[in-house]
Chain A
């Protein structure tokens, strides 16, 4: 059962209001997927817009029962990101300014931002398809089956790609002497 089944027929008939509901429902998820893949908020917005306009354009030809609409949209977004990354490298996060002496809250907040930035850069350093499976499984919470379908892989191939992605990321973090690890409880 497609959770967007209530909108598909209306959008296919050209209903802009129903399309607006679809945008409200999924723009955040698609935009987050593209942001994680590219590290570039502006390009992620362009790709998100492209995904929705493709959806708007193709829904009259949508064949019911083939896949969930959001799975198809995630697949289009992932492929657009991978295509973009074949031509342009991901945009790494800028270094934060030197930490100035200040109150404890400010320092903790800056430290947290630095950790976040370092982690995002480690993610962007992974091979694109490894980053794609991590993005889908971790940040989009897709099931194994859905992830495999989006990446056009068998479930076992998707699973082993995910495992390699996590292992590669662990190695990068372990090798990064400046990375602030979670303190033991």
Chain B
């Protein structure tokens, strides 16, 4: 395992080896044991983040809620869910979704052009540094990944 691989694991899953992917855990532990000082530096920021995440853990009380749900179920009839929509209807939704993504992309492209004239507006965006290769990331974060993939596929095959 390389240093970059180890960084990726820690940045994705945190410092607790129990959360690391099973197929990479042994190699990551081996790296940690072989390079303890380097590993400690890499893990420092994520150690703080894991601790902070733990402080925000919510364990809501549910006794009244459970009683409410059980009571509501008594007056709720069971029903059969209809089959999924036909592929033709699905195509209609996908086509509409593609148009939404196209509008979304044009909006971002416009913003990008404006930003090239006014660079200070880019620094105000702390979530993303708009680069050529992160459209897919933006689509994922905001729930357009399926549409993105579909449009990409359509563009290359059509």
Contacts and interface: CB of A to CB of B under 8 A. Distances in A.
Q: Is chain B a partner of chain A in the same complex?
A: yes
Interface of A: 12, 14, 16, 19-20, 23-24, 27-28, 31-32, 35-36, 41, 44-45, 48-49, 52-53, 56-61, 82, 112, 115-116, 119-120, 122-123, 127-130, 134, 137-139, 144, 152-153, 157, 159-164, 166-173, 175, 179, 181-182
Nearest to A172: B126
B143 A31 contact: no
Contact of A49 (B13, B46, B69): B69
Contacts, number: 137
Contact of A112 (B53, B55, B66): B55
Interface stretch (B26-34, B76-84, B113-121): B76-84
A171 B74 CA distance: 48
A36 B140 contact: no
B11 A23 contact: no
Contact of B48 (A32, A116, A134, A173): A173
Contacts of A138: 14, 53
Contact of B69 (A23, A82, A112, A164): A23
B99 to A, nearest CB: 18
B65 A45 contact: yes
Among B12, B46, B53, B127, max chain A CB count under 10 A is at: B12
B140 to A, nearest CB: 5
A163 B69 CA distance: 36
Interface residues of B, number: 45
B73 A129 contact: no
B88 interface: no
Contact of A36 (B58, B69, B81, B146): B58
Closest 8 CB pairs of A and B: A119-B56, A163-B12, A182-B51, A61-B81, A35-B58, A27-B62, A127-B141, A61-B80
Contacts of A52: 69, 73
A120 B56 contact: yes
Interface string B14-53: 1000010100000000000000000000000111110111
A172 B53 CA distance: 13
Contacts of A129: 140-143
Nearest to B144: A129
A56 B78 contact: yes
B89 interface: no
B70 A160 contact: no
A72 B62 CA distance: 21
B5 interface: no
Contacts of A59: 78
